[in-house]
Structure 1
Amino acid sequence: MKLLITGAAGFVGFHLSKALLEKDIEIVGLDNLNDYYDPQLKEDRLSILNDYKGFTFYKIDLKDKQPVDELFEFERPTHVIHLAAQAGVRYSIENPYAYVDSNLTGFMNILEACRHFPVEHLMYASSSSVYGGNKIAPFSTNHNVDHPLSLYAATKKSNELMAHTYSHLYGIPTTGLRFFTVYGPYGRPDMAYFSFTKDILSGKSIKVFNHGEMERDFTYIDDIVSGIEKLIEKAPLANPDWDESLGDISESFAPYKIYNIGNNSPVKLMRFIKALESAIGMEAKKEYLEMQPGDVKQTYADMTDLEEDIKFKPDTSIEEGLEKFVSWYKQYYNVG
């Protein structure tokens, strides 16, 4: 087995690569090391991965088709886990074209490479953001997701549609993973838990949107990695008898599958802040604000199919997870 992991210097890509390398699985990492957030954090993740003999790294921008094809032709990965993307709901309002380049053109280039240099399984990151304006909770992969609230969400829904097309036309087994608010050490600085920690430790006030009336299905990184690992060799099979009026719409007549991957336990924003304050040992100064454009009030993952298929059961509480994150943060930034 040889895995290509795109976004290997990113948050999830780093942790997944490290976990698999520790099991002596050969990893080819790809990343463009852009400056959406602090490139030094990406470089530091990468330096850890480079210490493993089974790791090979390529600095490539996915929107550039030729180097992507050349990598596939030379390395011939058996499996692809596509995690590279332009992330962030709010940034998609400020810089929409970055999402077209990375999330649409970049994914198209991955699909075409998997078509011309066949792989056993293509897994890719979708997002809980695709549920958009949905009101029924928990969010199920059987729910319609045609009402996105941000361009980021629209690109992730587009990825699912593109993957299905290639599964149907070319028989590429594809699995889409709708991630629910992943957090933990070496995380993304643009995420609330990261920026809140920085602001609390520096004595700045934190911005509490929608006056704290929000819930998120926070999922600790180790739980996410465990779920992905179990799915790698579980490529979806085509179901020729599939009927959209009777069957699960997360499956298909093509070798295609969509999963939620979350904690199945939404946390109120104020509980999250309280847990973070406890982990840091300081009370936050709070600035209460209105809801931001593109945000949703709640995310809540229905995990039924993932539990049935791979016995996935996250077991990290928000209190435990934030303790681990804050401990890493203080050590990494030498504070406290």
Structure 2
Amino acid sequence: MEKHMNNLSTTIETIQNKIIKNINLRLIELDMTQQALSQRTHIAQPTISKLLTGKSAFSLEQLIIISSAIGINLLSIINDSDFINIPLKPSSSIDLIPESDNLALDTTRPAFKGYLNNTFHIYFLSTVTGENRIINGNIEFIDTPNKRCNVKLTISTGKTNLFGEEITKEYTGNLIISIQQSTCYCILYNKDIAELSCLSFSHMYLSNEDLKCRMCVALTTSSGENRRPTIQRLIMSKYSFDLNNNEDVQFLTSQLRLNTKTISIDRTDLEEILTLDEYQKYKAQLVPSSYAESCILDENQLLALNMKLAEKINLINMLRDKSSAPKNNKIGTNTDEFLFEYISERSDFNNQ
């Protein structure tokens, strides 16, 4: 694998250097500046600069556009001999996504600082209906010789094989960063069960420190007999939560729900929580005077209470743990049926 990556990296660099050399020679012949090339191709001048200094890789579209602008076929520069000693290997989905100012794949770019060669603990709620269990594992972000960030996700199933060894599920993929959307995307694949998943989380620039934690959104498939497309939260953290510690478990189960700014909670559960000594004095503020079986609390209202931040977070965790917020959102069979039936009844659709 390493030999393959080294050969591929060298080949890409060689071809890219040949293309850059021919473009620069042609620009001299035409007495054309990078700015003029940018105007003619409608490719941003900073992007042109990165391409011609080897800081970004050319996409096929860019090669065709630049070829047309300068009057030479840049694709003809690539010879059969350039592909010697490269073992055949299926391309990954990341190969089809072009590098740009707003889309970072090259790990030498500042956007990747603090992410590379780091391993994080991960936690999410089981997607099996009726199962209240926290699933854990780890995720690694690995720099590679071809300047791409590989991702390896390992999930503990909580089961063991006949030899007493832990059974895990492994997913591999790549990290792509959208500068414009301030979002990191991990596209992951498990070849054993033919499953694709996608994680996304907010991106932040890190200069001289590593990323500590992030709340992620996962688009996946539910476990169990009835497998359905599912959206859920996933926590990624350098801190190792203790799943035998009630406080850690309560934090995870409360924050991994699909929460909003408001907390919907049964009145009985709310009153029980507010019987605790440290929260009794806030009962009048938080429990509605008029009777209602369900109470709606705003997170900002809770953060405004006159208490220490740690106490506020603890209160919010207890409330969210008892709230009606769902653990995940599955696209059930009824959803597809309702959509089909509604569309089928529309006369304008049936006439198409």
Q: TM-score range by the shorter chain?
A: under 0.3
Larger RCO (alpha carbons 8 Å, 6+ apart) = 1
User: Of Structure 1 and Structure 2, which has the larger fraction of its residues in helix?
Assistant: 1
TM-score normalised by L of structure 2: 0.20
- Rg larger for: 2
User: Of Structure 1 and Structure 2, which has the larger fraction of its residues in strand?
Assistant: 2
TM-score normalised by L of structure 1: 0.20
